[in-house]
């Protein structure tokens, strides 16, 4: 007698949705992945994968390829942009006794999506539906019915909403997205020039400046030749002015001045939010990733925490649905993920931004001195890295019942 596995609907084909779908297929669920877009969005987005996340990606079989297509980065640095002084350097190798992966991997999220989709195609009970934006959903005691904009209907026992910060699932459920939007926009410039050679900076470097703080990090690029992304606060100018060649070159030269122009491969302006959903669960629907929480990108925590959501929600559903544990565990998912996002991701990313943009000279000096002292003290630097890499978050999750 053939036993039909329970079906899980996953709304959203970004990295969190794809990791959710893959983990669910490996756990024994039948999976329908519903993605609004026709293809994989290759726009430059999150790329930093922390040690705690690498452990999870190893469990679902994606780590080796992730490393092969990305860049391994042991170190990250804090600089004083005004003086170009290296303030502090942190080495993930200091966590060698805490994790099998004492480094981060810089691999663009669209590569992770592609790897996951390729892996999903090896499972017989998986369907991937593209160009399928959701328009409605209903649920009853036995499952969830999702209706696409084209009228197509999908039915599963459970649905995971991983459809991004503008989540249709969250809106259809009427769940408040609590928090705020930062007043300034963020500007991204991607260049082919090598800042490691120009400045000697690490693949992840943060520059404190009361006028124009900067994040700088390196990715491999689709061609494997490497490129650097610079993220900084946009001014009040129009988009056309901000993205003009003259303004873009001037901004790059405010970081490191040189005679020849930089080779700009990509630019973008976007709004940044600090928000957390009031609930992560409504009946048979659960939220994960940006559908449940968004934050500023300083520290590279948002995508990582979303992947942690994905693994947690699948493990919880496996226990309840496949192993017949008490359904009260589903509420534990919300207690864990919402609590930890506020405590670790929201607080940490806000603190990271305030540290970089501090304008009071005395407070700014104290902040930089504190970073120096932390990097120089073995106990303090390990504690700093355990928190910034979300290892502490994973460990605390295990204590929340």
Q: Mind listing the pLDDT tens digit for each residue in 129-163?
A: 999 999 999 999 999 999 999 999 999 999 999 99
162-192 pLDDT, tens digit each: 999 999 999 999 999 999 999 999 999 999 9
Tokens 């009361």 belong to which residue? 210
pLDDT at 2: 54
Phi, psi of 187 (to 5 degrees): -110, 135
Q: Does residue 312 sit in helix, strand or coil?
A: helix
What is the model's pTM?
0.96
Closest by Cα among 126, 106, 110 to 15: 110
The whole-chain average pLDDT of the chain stands at 96
Phi, psi of 264 (to 5 degrees): -90, 125
Closest by Cα among 284, 194, 303, 259 to 6: 284
What strand order describes the sheet that includes 273-277? Answer: 177-181, 273-277, 293-294
What whole-number distance in Å separates Cα of residue 281 and Cα of residue 151?
Answer: 25
Q: What is the mean pLDDT of residues 49-76?
A: 97
Tokens 């390729």 belong to which residue? 118
Q: What is the mean pLDDT of residues 266-289?
A: 96
Q: Does residue 186 sit in helix, strand or coil?
A: strand
What residues are paired with 146 via a beta bridge?
137, 154
Query: Which of 237 and 300 is assigned the larger pLDDT?
Result: 300
In terms of DSSP bridges, do strands 285-287 and 158-161 run parallel, antiparallel, or are they unpaired?
parallel
pLDDT at 1: 45
339-384 pLDDT, tens digit each: 999 999 999 999 999 999 999 999 999 999 999 999 999 999 999 9
Is the domain spanning 7-72+107-180+274-355 CATH 3.40.50.720? The answer is no
> Where do the domains of the chain lie?
7-72+107-180+274-355
Residues composing the chain: 401
**Looking at the predicted structure, is the pLDDT value of residue 43 above 50?**
yes
User: Do 102 and 94 touch, CB atoms closer than 8 A?
Assistant: yes
User: Do 380 and 316 touch, CB atoms closer than 8 A?
Assistant: no
User: Do 201 and 195 touch, CB atoms closer than 8 A?
Assistant: yes
4 CB burial (10 A radius; 0-12, 13-18, 19+):
exposed
What is the percentage of the chain residues whose pLDDT exceeds 90? 95
What whole-number distance in Å separates Cα of residue 29 and Cα of residue 6?
Answer: 5
What is the percentage of the chain residues whose pLDDT exceeds 70? 99
What whole-number distance in Å separates Cα of residue 376 and Cα of residue 121?
Answer: 48
Closest by Cα among 9, 26, 54, 5 to 122: 26
What strand order describes the sheet that includes 104-106? Answer: 48-49, 104-106, 71-73
User: Angle 172-175-179 (CA atoms, 0-180°, nearest 5)?
Assistant: 130
76-128 pLDDT, tens digit each: 999 999 999 999 999 999 999 999 999 999 999 999 999 999 999 999 999 99
Q: Does residue 54 sit in helix, strand or coil?
A: helix
User: Do 75 and 201 touch, CB atoms closer than 8 A?
Assistant: no
User: Do 275 and 178 touch, CB atoms closer than 8 A?
Assistant: yes
Tokens 């942190």 belong to which residue? 90
């Amino acid at each position: 007698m053939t036993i039909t596995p329970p079906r899980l609907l996953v709304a959203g084909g970004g990295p969190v949705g794809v990791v959710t779908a893959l983990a669910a297929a490996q756990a024994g669920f039948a999976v329908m992945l519903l993605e609004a877009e026709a293809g994989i969005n290759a726009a430059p987005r999150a790329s930093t994968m922390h040690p705690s996340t690498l452990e999870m990606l190893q469990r679902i079989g994606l780590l080796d390829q992730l490393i092969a297509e990305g860049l391994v980065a042991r170190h990250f640095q804090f600089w004083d942009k005004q003086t170009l002084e290296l303030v502090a350097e942190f080495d993930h190798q200091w966590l060698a006794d805490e994790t099998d992966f004492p480094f981060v991997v810089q691999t663009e999220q669209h590569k992770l999506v592609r790897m996951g989709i390729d892996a999903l195609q090896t499972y017989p009970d998986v369907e991937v539906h593209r160009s399928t934006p959701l328009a409605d959903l209903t649920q009853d005691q036995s499952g969830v019915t999702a209706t696409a904009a084209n009228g197509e209907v999908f039915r599963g026992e459970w649905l995971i909403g991983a459809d991004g910060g503008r989540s249709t699932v969250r809106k259809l459920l009427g769940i408040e997205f609590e928090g705020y939007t930062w007043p300034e926009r963020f500007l991204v410039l991607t260049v082919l020039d090598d800042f490691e050679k120009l400045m000697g900076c690490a693949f992840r470097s943060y520059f404190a400046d009361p006028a124009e703080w900067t994040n700088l990090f390196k990715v491999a690029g689709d061609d494997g030749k490497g490129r650097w992304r610079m993220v900084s606060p946009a001014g009040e100018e129009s988009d056309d002015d901000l993205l003009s060649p003259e303004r873009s070159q001037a901004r790059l030269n405010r970081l490191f001045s040189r005679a020849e122009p930089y080779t700009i491969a990509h630019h973008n302006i976007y709004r940044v939010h600090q928000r957390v959903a009031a609930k992560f669960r409504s009946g048979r629907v659960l939220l994960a990733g940006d559908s449940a929480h968004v934050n500023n990108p300083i520290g590279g925590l948002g995508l990582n925490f979303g992947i942690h959501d994905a693994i947690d929600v699948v493990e919880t559903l496996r226990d309840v649905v496949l192993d017949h544990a008490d359904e009260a565990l589903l509420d534990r998912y919300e207690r864990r993920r919402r609590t930890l996002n506020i405590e670790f991701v929201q607080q940490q990313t806000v603190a990271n931004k305030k540290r970089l943009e501090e304008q009071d000279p005395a407070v700014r000096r104290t902040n930089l001195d504190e970073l120096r002292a932390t990097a120089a003290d073995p106990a303090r630097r390990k504690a700093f890295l355990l928190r910034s890499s979300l290892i502490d978050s994973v460990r605390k999750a295990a204590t929340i019942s």
